[in-house]
């Protein structure tokens, strides 16, 4: 059953078709989404002869799920005609024979339901590099299978899944870019074939020590993305304030990159970064370099357990820190405050901000 809001926005049913040449099979999905369709909204997997295409249309998911009639090669091409909402998935035939049909329908094929009701789908990704960020935090670079098309939108997280001592353990992580500077080219930086995760390893944790034990070349299951953040929240934004604690910095990374590069109305972007000690500050040098390079960006570090040499700010999140930090660049400017960190940090932050008079729409907290 479709709810009324969706009925008004998009025609009810998506459909699909397919055609072939001697060596290619093209599957076409007509989403009828006339604007705003982009390649983040289409997730394609091809595993063991099964093709799965999940088209995400606002809060809904249209699924195509087929056991293909014949074998195809691993690499797939996904093309999106944004203006007409058409998605094309091009498959290369393994033996160039004519196909009489595309294949057999599998579970939930041709269904159109709420995205949150679809359930997570996992594919195995290969660990290709592991690099230190601080004494306890590392960047894990995972390579998606060649037959997967998955781009994680700004502000969203994925889940990693692993069997540990016979039990399936699932934990959320927020993909990051490989650096804060978009002109800082590194391998795998701007492609969509890799996911980079910045993960703090807790020696007594359930999941992270196991993740840390993965060797280069090992595989781990990675889900589709989830999250309530929408890019529309920063469109025409003027002032952006980011409150991050520890690894709560991870969703801020792509957000910073996105806003500074794509939101031309933005005048100030300020990050208040809470950590225990100086050694815990993630990407401190990069943040300071960015602040020097881009006059719209400012960063403040607040330590809760500083060594005595620390001359910067200290303490934990408080109303007085926030009232001093969050200031509109002009009266009635369009503002957003994003909060992420340990649950008590996030909850206190939201409460202080509401007490200071910021509305619910002006506050976004990253949660699972």
Residues engaged in binding ligand NAD (CB under 6 A): 157, 174, 200, 245-248, 250-251, 274-276, 280, 304, 316-317, 340-342, 344-345, 348, 366-367
Which of 68, 198, 243, 260 forms a contact with ligand FAD (CB under 6 A)? 198
- Using CB under 6 A as the binding rule, whether residue 342 contacts ligand FAD is answered as no
Taking CB under 6 A as the rule, does residue 320 contact ligand FAD?
no
Minimum CB distance to ligand FAD, residue 121 (Å): 18
Q: Tell me: does residue 202 bind ligand FAD (CB under 6 A).
A: yes
Taking the complex as a whole, how short is the minimal distance between the CB of residue 367 and ligand FAD, in angstroms? Answer: 6
Answer yes or no whether residue 174 interacts with ligand FAD by CB under 6 A. yes
Smallest distance, ligand NAD to C-beta of residue 257, A: 16
Q: Among the candidate windows 35-43, 171-179, 185-193, 231-239, which touches ligand FAD by CB under 6 A?
A: 171-179
Beta carbon of residue 174, minimum distance to ligand FAD (angstroms, whole number): 4
Distance CA 150, CA 44 (A): 7
What is the number of the residue whose Cβ is closest to ligand FAD? Answer: 205
What track of x and - describes contact with ligand FAD for positions 128 through 157 (by CB under 6 A)? -----------------------------x
Residue selected from 200, 231, 296, 334 as contacting ligand FAD according to rule CB under 6 A: 200
Per-residue contact string for residues 242-281; x = within reach of ligand FAD by CB under 6 A: -----x--x-------------------------------
Binding residues (CB under 6 A) for ligand FAD: these are 157, 171-174, 197-200, 202, 204-208, 247, 250, 366-368
């Amino acid at each position: 059953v479709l709810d009324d809001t969706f009925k008004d926005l998009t025609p009810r049913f998506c459909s699909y078709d397919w055609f072939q040449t001697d060596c290619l099979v093209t599957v076409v999905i007509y989403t009828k989404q006339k604007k705003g369709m982009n390649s983040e909204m289409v997730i394609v997997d091809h595993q063991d002869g099964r093709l799965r295409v999940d088209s995400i249309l606002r809060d809904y998911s249209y699924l195509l799920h087929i056991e293909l009639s014949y074998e195809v090669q691993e690499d797939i091409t996904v093309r999106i005609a944004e203006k007409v909402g058409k998605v094309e998935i091009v498959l290369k035939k393994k033996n160039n024979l004519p196909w009489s049909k595309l294949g057999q329908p599998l579970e939930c094929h041709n269904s159109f339901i709420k995205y949150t009701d679809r359930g997570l789908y996992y594919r195995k990704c290969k660990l290709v590099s592991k690099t230190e960020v601080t004494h306890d935090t590392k960047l894990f670079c995972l390579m998606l299978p060649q037959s997967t098309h998955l781009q994680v939108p700004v502000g969203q997280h994925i889940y990693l899944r692993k069997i540990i001592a016979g039990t399936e353990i699932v934990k959320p992580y927020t993909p990051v870019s490989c650096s804060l500077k978009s002109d800082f080219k590194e391998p795998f930086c701007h492609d969509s074939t890799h996911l980079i995760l910045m993960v703090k390893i807790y020696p007594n944790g359930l999941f992270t020590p196991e993740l840390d034990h993965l060797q280069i070349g090992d595989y781990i299951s990675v889900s589709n993305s989830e999250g309530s953040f929408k890019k529309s929240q920063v469109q025409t934004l003027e002032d952006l304030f980011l409150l991050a604690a520890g690894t709560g910095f991870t969703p801020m990374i792509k957000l910073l990159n996105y806003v500074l590069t794509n939101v031309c109305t933005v005048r100030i972007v300020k990050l208040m970064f809470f950590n225990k000690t100086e050694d815990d500050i993630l990407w401190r040098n990069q943040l300071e370099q960015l602040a020097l390079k881009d006059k719209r960006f400012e960063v403040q570090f607040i330590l809760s357990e500083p060594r005595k040499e620390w001359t910067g700010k200290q303490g934990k999140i408080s109303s007085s820190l926030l009232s001093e930090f969050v200031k509109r660049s002009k009266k009635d400017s369009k503002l957003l405050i994003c909060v992420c960190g340990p649950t008590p940090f996030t909850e206190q932050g939201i409460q202080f901000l509401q007490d200071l008079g910021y509305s619910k729409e002006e506050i976004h907290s990253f949660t699972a």
